[in-house]
Amino acid sequence: MERGRKESVEKSGELMGLPFVFIISLIIAAIIVIFAVMTIKNFTCRGEQVAINVFVSDFKSEVEKSFYTTRGSQTIFRGTLPNKGCARVEEVCLGFPDEARSAQFKNDEIWFEISAYKGQNKNLFLYPRDSLQEVGVQQAYKIPLLNVTQNPLCFQSGSVEIVLKNEGKYVNVLKK
C-alpha cells in the first residue's frame, strides 16, 4: 500500500512541475521572437541608411558630371530617399545657410534647421534632423560646384527629380 501511495505522490509531483516547464518554454520562445523582430528592424534601418548615403553619393557624382558638360546643358538627377521607417526623410534641401533666405521660402522650421549649419560649408540638408540623428545618419553634406536659384530649394523625399544646369563656373539646381 505504501508503494502505491509513493508512486501517486511521484506522479503528482511530475504533473506539478509540468506547468513550470511550459511557462519557461514560453518565456524562451518570447525572447527569441523579440530578438528576431529587433534584428529585422535593425536590418531595415541599415538599409535606409545605405539608401541615404547612395542618394548623396549619386547626387554628388551627377553634379560633377554636369559641371564637365557643355555650358547651358541640363541633366536630370533621379534618386530615392526613404520617407518611412526609422531613417525617415521628409525633404531634401539645397542651399547656403550663410546667405539670406529667399523671399519665396516660407518654411521657418526647415530654415531654422538649415541655419544651424552656418559656417560649416554645407549645402545639402536632410529634414527632419532629429529623426536622422536617432539612427546615426549625417544630416548635412557638402556638394562641390553647386549653386541654387532659390535659397534654399527643397524637394519632397521619396522619388526625387532635380534639374542640374551647367552655368560654367558652377552647376545650378532647378526644380523640374
Q: What is the DSSP string of 98-147?
A: TSPPPTT---HHHHHHHHTTTTS---EEEE-HHHHHHTT---EE--TTEE
pLDDT exceeds cutoff 70 at 83: yes
The whole-number pLDDT of residue 51 equals: 86
The whole-number pLDDT of residue 71 equals: 93
Domain ranges of the chain: 34-175
> CB neighbours of 55 closer than 8 A, spacing ≥ 6?
79, 80, 81, 92, 160
The whole-number pLDDT of residue 13 equals: 53
pLDDT band of residue 169 (cuts 50, 70, 90) is very high
The whole-number pLDDT of residue 40 equals: 80
